[in-house]
Amino acid sequence: MLKKINLLLLLVILGACSHQVQNTNTVSNVETTVPSDPFLWLEEVEGEKAIEWVKERNEKSLKVIKNHPKFEALHENNKAIYNSDERIPYVGQMNGYLYNFWRDETHVRGIYRRTTLAEYRKEEPMWETVLDVDALAEADNENWVYKGMSCRYPVYDRCLVNLSRGGADATVVKEFDLESKSFVKGGFFLPESKNSVAWVDLNTVMVGADFGEGSMTDSGYPKITKMWRRGTPMMDAPVVFEAKQTDVGIWPAVIYDGDDAYKFIIQADTFYTRSWHILDDSNQSKALDLPKDINLSGLIDGQAILELKSDWQPAAITFNQGDLITISFTDLLADKKNFKALMKPDASTSISSVSTSKNYVLVNTLKDVSSVMYQLSYDNGQWQTETMDLPTLGAMSISGTSDKNDDVFINYSNYLTPSTLYYYNATTKKAEAIKSLPAMFDKKDLVVEQHFMTATDGVQVPYFLIRKENIAYNGKNPTILYGYGGFEVSMRPNYSSIVGTNWLEDGGVYVVANIRGGGEYGPAWHQAALKENRHVAFNDFIGVAEDLINKNITSPDHLGIIGGSNGGLLVGAVYTMRPDLFNAVVCAVPLLDMKRYNKLLAGASWMAEYGNPDIPKEWAYIKTYSPYHNLSATKEYPKVFFTTSTRDDRVHPGHARKMAALMESMGHEYFYYENIEGGHGGASNNNQAAYLRALTYSYFWHQLAP
């Protein structure tokens, strides 16, 4: 269903869905010799020497962090939170059932289960287990981590289940019968791979996978899509589309508008640009005549909904970056240009997401980083827009819709308000709170403030500050500053039981910086920090840190920063630029060697964000911030805590390993923890997540407490 396609596309390009296999016993996509890099051997993910190095650093670091007086209490607290039954079971709708994936102390790997709406409304609903991943792992003698399933629309009789070994992005795909709740003997099966699959009918799927030499792009995603019929060898299936070697990848999709189905191939030539190819009955493709950076965000009542990432003048009317526009799908296929504006956000507003129900388009916007939601309907050739009556000053997200009804599940939270799940009917326009979390920490003396830091170019950069109401502004408050600043990802207000119990309750200050590079104010906010302008994100983050110090909320001795993935690059760059500002850095699953990032795992797919280090003029600006290339033996640095995972097949663990080794060679102290499994999230189950968070906050208390 189209309402899920754009999120899926983003996730697969990021690597959050399942794709090509990586041989974890060797270096991935590594040049044969790089004599200037003395730590290249640490890129051998499961090399004996590299693993021994990891184990030694783990042991040395854990001796200190786990011995902090707070660690055991934090660990037990976190396990209780992650495994608590006091969580909202978020659901997806399929064929009259509500489906949920659930992990707890008993179901460590998790169960996929279902119930009815009437039952779900109850305080303790009865669930029917559909798939027990713990039992499956035991039966298969595999370390399975559930990575989701794709079920055949609209009958939902068969599903393709994605199973990862140890949390990697690469998955094994098995066909599952949703009615008998069992795997299909002799059904569709894909060996471990970074893949992309879409149902066409009961006996046909479009599939992209590692078919052998030449079938994957430089980014490690499928280059070829085949039309695979049941009962025939996948390798013999006919090719219906082939991308370029330099493309990020291609993803098949079957999009429905009512009973009408359309087969698409989404060809991503970069992370942010793509072409939409529609297949006819003979599987011949035609590219839609659209800008490559546009998002096809909805298809309803014969109308296509599109989001603009840049200004566009298809005909007489000029549309602005960030606008939501529409056109008849028939006209779109005929290359007509009679587009109309559907929503035009103002300077303080951006479109966060677009979803569809049976009769409505649901638009989630951010106004100064807080959600405001609208519902749009198409009737007699006209569009109507209404504001949805929902709470304000927080973050909302749609967690479940269906093209078969107008029932919508919407989650709301803010920094001090636990998540509340609303059942909203778009026809009656009534919202009902049906699930809510209990308060997991005492908010009585806590306040949330939104501040705006004036950047050096005059731009107002917002950040949220959560603190005890009566703290002394004496520069001694232990403070954690979090940021991301990339890929148009917005840092919205959300309730975190871990932050509350591990940090805020004991007097810690927590800050979230909405720096450029994110999507808080739309595409322009993101594009301001792309490629040669990457320093904008770093300088915004530094500016927020300086603002906190200037306000005497904290001081360099008591200020720590944290970021993961692209956020790991952020904090890595910032601490090498301004080590004088910080006394703690958690650099999680990071990119750090920006000379080689595009040669490791999924790195080549991110060159539209960072640039290509193999092009001299682009390396000229990348090298100015690449943490691995800007570390100095003569500077003093905070004692950084690097965390990563051996099974992360998205951001290579070699980044964290090599940076730590380089610091060690220069005589700089650091902490290091590498989970042997866990994937890009760093943890593959609740217990591992609880342990990692306990390490993180024990480290912060160790470094920042007065």
> Which residues lie closer than 8 Å to 55 by C-beta, 6 or more apart?
none
Helices (H), 182-224: none
Tokens representing residue 336 in the block: 């007509």
Query: Does 694 reside within a domain?
Result: yes
Q: Is 659 a domain residue? A: yes
Token pair for 392: 């304000």
pLDDT at 27: 37
Count the neighbouring beta carbons within 10 Å of the beta carbon of residue 353.
Answer: 20
Let me know: does 43 contact 650? Beta carbons within 8 Å. Answer: no
Identify the pLDDT of residue 324. Answer: 97
**pLDDT tens digits for 61-98?**
999 999 999 999 999 999 999 988 889 999 999 999 99
pTM, full prediction: 0.86
Give the residues of the chain that fall short of pLDDT 70. Answer: 1-35, 677-684
Q: Is residue 470 part of a domain?
A: yes
- Domain annotation covers residue 236: no
> Cα separation of 94 and 346, whole Å?
36
Range of the domain at 684: 49-79+456-704
- Do the domain assignments include residue 535? yes
Distance CA 261, CA 112 (A): 28
Looking at the structure of the chain, the number of domains it has is 1
pLDDT (0 to 100) of residue 4: 38
pLDDT at position 21 is 26
480 assigned to some structural domain: yes
Q: Are residues 568 and 586 in contact, defined by beta-carbon separation less than 8 angstroms? A: no
Residue type, 173: V
Domain assignment present for residue 181? The answer is: no
Residue that has been written with the tokens 């840190």 in this structure: 545
For 703, the 3-state DSSP assignment is helix
CATH number of the domain to which 601 belongs: 3.40.50.1820
Cα gap 14→650, rounded to integer Å: 8
Helices (H), 21-114: 48-65, 71-82
Give CA–CA dist 662/527, Å, rounded. 32
In a domain, 644, yes or no: yes
H/E run at residue 150: strand 144-151
At a CB cut-off of 8 Å and minimum separation 6, what does 617 contact?
Answer: none
Sheet strands (E) in 426-558: 430-436, 446-454, 460-468, 479-482, 509-513
Q: Are 119 and 97 in contact (CB under 8 A)?
A: no
Give CA–CA dist 309/306, Å, rounded.
10
Please, what is the angle between helix 654-665 and helix 566-577, to 10°?
20
Name the residues annotated as catalytic.
565, 680
